[in-house]
Amino acid sequence: MSLANLVPHGGGPAWRWLIERVWRLEHAFERSRAAAKPEDDTSIRIFFVLALFGCAFMVLAVGATWAAVFSNAGKNGGYLAAMEGARGDLTDREGKLLAVDLTHYALYIDPKEVWDAKATRAALGKALPQVPAKRLDKAIFGDRRTFLLGGLDPAQKDAIFNLGLPGVEFEEQARRVYPLGVSAAHFVGFVDGGGKGLAGAEGALNDDIHAAAAKGEGAAPIALSIDLRVQAALEDELRKAALEFGPRGAVGIVTNVHTGEILGLASYPDFDPNDPGKASDDAKLNRAAASVYEMGSTFKAFTVAIGLDTGVATPSSTFDAREPYKLGYRTIHDYHASRKILTLVEVFQHSSNIGTARLAEGVGAQRLSQYYNNLGLTKPAKVELRESARPLTPKKWDEDAVASTSFGHGMNVSPLALARAFGPLLNGGTMPPLTIRKLAPGVRPEGPRVLSEETSQQMLQIMRANVTGGSGKTADVKGLSVGGKTGTGEKYDPSIRGYNHQRQVSSFAAVFPTEGPLEADRYFVLILLDEPHGTAKTFGFSTGGWVATPAAGRVIDRIAPFLGVQRRNELIIAGAQPKATTPGAGL
């Protein structure tokens, strides 16, 4: 057969070149045997084998180079970024790390690779006491590769690897780590074993966090709205109040009233998001967003603002609080009756249920319910958090509903909804949404106007008057012109079919500074304790003025420097230490 006959149909010069070289090589072998020179024959064959290996390695090298340079491998910032469930970093507004993916390891056992099953069982049983014996036996003496344990950090992995046990294998895995532990746990949230956000910012921004990881190592972290300095002070003072008064739970919130940014959010009790499985559902409950309460007298701020905005009243309008107010089948009393005619400012300072109910009656059911709706009190708080709870509102807006809601009964809202609703009272009358994202400096989101600027300015003055001469005296921090409103909502008890005077929701809603133009930086602070207990220091009282107001004042005193709020010298000089509140005051 000729060389030409070996060329495939349509073959080109490459095929001809290859076959010609093979033909020549074979004839070289024949010539060596004919000349009786076996050493030449062997040398040629060795050369041929080496040439084949050389070609194979060349192909592998070219393939590896192609994959490294032209393929998509490694373009997502390394192995962790490409792993399923990988998440981007979370930071506070100052860039301090809140959540990060770190390399951990999963431990597998391949029984087919185990040399000495009994020795392996003994060594791993000693090294991994947390693994149940039955699970370890099944993995080592089984018939297939089995996952044994996940979440090993590099030091733990090395300790097991150094045992030198055949059949013990490791695979890298991304694990979510929260370096600050319990701090800001309810705000930041946590993830499941597959890297899916379940709560807090982790749940609310889940898709964005995954997308950040997909961008690779150079991707910017997602900056959240909180300031860890503010958060630390808030958590510390809330915990101190909780330990002193022993409530079922407690909430602390700090917001920027112009931007809606949540600068601090605390829920007590707390938990460690690094190991949420060990925490109870009660500890993981975000009471700021997912719980609703009858807020009591903090609602009087809304009623007064609505009365001013509708023109039903002015700060100097008077209301007769000399006798209990009969409305239909019910009679409304004041907790600590002043039994006199009160101006609107005095109604607020004395936290008069009678005066507030009379004001609400003048506003009317239709207008009052519409303002509540405009203030966001009839729907879940507008914020990214999935936990934001739906309020409980009256089914019918009759005169009883008007009177009850005017002083914070008959309507349950979340602390975050309350915080958002206070915004228009303090920022000039608009309703920006709350947000857990850091906004760019100078950005103030637009929101619908719900109150006039004049009403907002009047409310700042009235809330300030309540701290200087009303139930909020213990929050009067020198130089910071604090304003606020106490609140004590009694809980409805089905067992007695009425309100239980021993079970209260006690709070203080504060603003600072009240001085300055409406567009000036301004911050809202809420402290709430659910079913606190009075102490000897509070004469047994557990109302908002006794248990929540002092804590709010301490928070404001500590966070003002972090927020750039300067103390005014004239307020420091003119101000005196808050006078002791009389027993029973501070609704």
CA-closest candidate to residue 304, choices 360, 252, 253: 360
Q: What is the mean pLDDT of residues 303-328?
A: 93
Confidence of residue 77 (pLDDT cuts 50, 70, 90): very low
Query: Which helix (H) or strand (E) covers residue 20, if one does?
Result: helix 13-34
Flag whether pLDDT at 580 surpasses 50. Answer: no
Look at 502 and 284; give whichever has higher pLDDT: 284
Question: What's residue 577's pLDDT?
Answer: 40
Amino acid occupying residue 58: M
Residue 27 in tokens: 């004839």
Q: What percent of the chain has pLDDT over 70?
A: 82
**Residue 403 to residues 95, 394, 525, 583: CA-CA distances in angstroms?**
47, 11, 27, 26
Confidence of residue 576 (pLDDT cuts 50, 70, 90): very low
Q: Kindly report whether the peptide bond that precedes residue 269 is cis, defined as omega within 30 degrees of 0.
A: yes
Cα angle value 9/15/17 (rounded, 5°): 140
SS3 220: coil
Question: What's residue 80's pLDDT?
Answer: 40
Question: What's residue 368's pLDDT?
Answer: 96
**Alpha-carbon gap, residue 210 to 86, rounded angstroms:** 6
Confidence of residue 57 (pLDDT cuts 50, 70, 90): low
Q: What is the mean pLDDT of residues 444-450?
A: 94
Task: Give the residue numbers marked as catalytic.
Answer: 297
Q: How many CA atoms lie within 13 A of 542 on its CB side?
A: 22
Q: What is the mean pLDDT of residues 434-438?
A: 98
Question: What's residue 494's pLDDT?
Answer: 81
DSSP state of 449: B
pTM to 2 decimals? 0.80
Q: What is the DSSP string of 313-334?
A: --TT-EEE-SSPEEETTEEE--
CB 297 within 8 A of CB 544: yes
Flag whether pLDDT at 500 surpasses 80. Answer: no
Q: Which residues does 291 contact at the CB level (< 8 Å), separation at least 6?
A: 249, 251, 285, 389, 414, 415, 530
